[in-house]
Amino acid sequence: MTRFHASLVDTSVLDSIASFCKTVLAPEARMTDREARFATHHIKALSEMGIMGMNLPTEYGGMGLDPYTLLEAMANISGTCASTGSMVSAHFLCSDSIKFGGSEEQKQKYLPSLASGEKLGAFALTEPSAGSDPASMLTKATRAGDHYHIKGTKHFISNAGAADVFVIYAKTDPAAGGKGVSAFVVEKKNGGITLGKAEPTMGLRGAHAFEFSIDARVPAENRLGDEGSGLRTAMKTLDAGRIDIAMCSVGIAEAAYAAALEWVKTRKMGGVNISTYQGLQWMLADMATEIAAARGLCLETIRKRAAGERYSIEAAMAKLFASEMAGRVTDKALQIHGGYGFTQSYDVERYVRDARIMRIYEGTSEIQRNIIARSLIAD
Ligand SMILES: Cc1cc2nc3c(=O)[nH]c(=O)nc-3n(C[C@H](O)[C@H](O)[C@H](O)COP(=O)(O)OP(=O)(O)OC[C@H]3O[C@@H](n4cnc5c(N)ncnc54)[C@H](O)[C@@H]3O)c2cc1C
């Protein structure tokens, strides 16, 4: 793993997370994937490290990390066990929605138990017929006195199988398109959430995404922000999420690159080390260059975020490039391993499978291109 410059990050935090990754996550990563074991078995250890609250300020029980350290840590976690990284990322989407969209009272009420890992969060935007276009969602929240009746179906929701706190997006004004979406905090213990199936997936096999239906009375005080502000909260949350996914992609690519580098240094063919083949050297050169380019885009995005500037376009560019880069780099790493790379005896095939989702969730590559192009034309 390379890192952002030491002047930008908290090296002692990153060192302890790196050691945690090595000793706790790494030994179980292959098993978590192979057995599709829900990565929640790591929550206790992650909580003890403060990782479940890395994205939150100290006043809500979080670690209060600067964004460089936070995102570098996420790269390390995902490069070690992408299923665990994905579970943590989805948890952050829930607590970030409350952080960005909630009142002070709501933050005080929900964030400390999410920060400590006592409660697991889920972020429920996608529906069976509303993925890339959340404004077309069908879930409705109908006001009835001091409650809303929320009814609908959400799809592909990470963590839903074990989550205690859901941020659910629903239409309070179905005629108003995207401007009619509101966000709600829904606690599973209050009932009304019925879990459906978690589809087996090609990668991130330890990060289960569930369908669920909701038919629940939710107190009006659980609405985050004004009626109609839901998509704004979701988009702010997804800006933070997209740079997170970009750095998780960097982490997976770096793990694959490190495995490939190690392989060429040790694998011999007729007494000749394969690192002497120029074809493989060039692959490694391209891999290292692409990772560095993705890191550069992420760095600029994080700089803007740290400075309090808008970074939606940069986050879209970073996610687009880093996720596609992770596809190319992990594929080359497998190729460098030859037939061994295709077997389950090595981690590299897992990296290929885990990297694939990065181009899809939190906005597909096509949607990132739409966001970038719209801003170019508007400029
Ligand atoms: C493992 C996993 C975990 C997930 N976790 C969560 C979660 O925790 N919470 C949550 O809310 N969602 C989650 N998702 C959902 C994910 O964000 C969506 O799958 C994603 O946004 C794409 O939506 P879709 O699957 O409906 O594809 P669709 O929107 O149906 O897209 C199909 C194709 O059409 C393309 N397309 C769509 N619109 C356009 C356009 N305007 N221009 C060009 N091309 C377009 C897409 O790029 C794609 O190639 C998860 C998904 C998976 C697989």
Nearest Cα to Cα of residue 33 among 160, 157, 200: 200
Give how many domains the chain has, as a whole number: 3
Q: Is the CB of 203 under 6 A from ligand 1?
A: no
Same domain, 247 and 268: yes
Same domain, 241 and 340: yes
Nearest Cα to Cα of residue 280 among 295, 263, 292, 294: 263
User: Taking the mean position of all CA atoms in its chain, how far away is CA 370?
Assistant: 20
Same domain, 36 and 89: yes
Tens-digit pLDDT profile for residues 332-363: 999 999 999 999 999 999 999 999 999 999 99
The CATH number given to whatever domain includes residue 334 is 1.20.140.10
Same domain, 340 and 252: yes
Please give the Cα distance from 35 to 178 (Å, whole number).
39
Please give the Cα distance from 234 to 181 (Å, whole number).
10
Please give the Cα distance from 220 to 184 (Å, whole number).
9
Q: Is the CB of 16 under 6 A from ligand 1?
A: no
Please give the Cα distance from 123 to 115 (Å, whole number).
15
For residue 133, report the distance from its CA to the centre of ligand 1, in Å.
Answer: 8
| C-alpha neighbours within 13 Å on the C-beta side of residue 243 | 31
Q: Is the CB of 366 under 6 A from ligand 1?
A: yes
Same domain, 167 and 93: no
Which of 132, 202, 319, 366 to mutate for ligand 1's pocket (most ligand atoms within 8 Å of CB)? 132
Q: Is the CB of 52 under 6 A from ligand 1?
A: no
| DSSP characters over 33-90 | HHTT--GGGGHHHHHHTTGGGTTS-GGGTS----HHHHHHHHHHHHHH-HHHHHHHHH
Tens-digit pLDDT profile for residues 225-245: 999 999 999 999 999 999 999
| C-alpha neighbours within 13 Å on the C-beta side of residue 30 | 9
Q: Is the CB of 368 under 6 A from ligand 1?
A: no
Q: Has residue 347 been placed in a domain?
A: yes
Which of 211, 314, 324, 362 is an active site residue? 362
Tens-digit pLDDT profile for residues 174-228: 999 999 999 999 999 999 999 998 989 999 999 999 999 999 999 999 999 999 9
Q: Has residue 317 been placed in a domain?
A: yes
Tens-digit pLDDT profile for residues 57-83: 999 999 999 999 999 999 999 999 999
Tens-digit pLDDT profile for residues 255-289: 999 999 999 999 999 999 999 999 999 999 999 99
Final residue before a domain boundary, out of 228, 251, 270: 228
Give the strand pairing for 121-124 and 165-171. parallel
The CATH number given to whatever domain includes residue 169 is 2.40.110.10
Residue 362 appears among annotated catalytic residues: yes
Predicted local distance difference test score (pLDDT) of residue 1: 65
Domain that holds residue 239: 232-378
Same domain, 106 and 56: yes
Residue nearest to atom 24 of ligand 1 (CA): 131
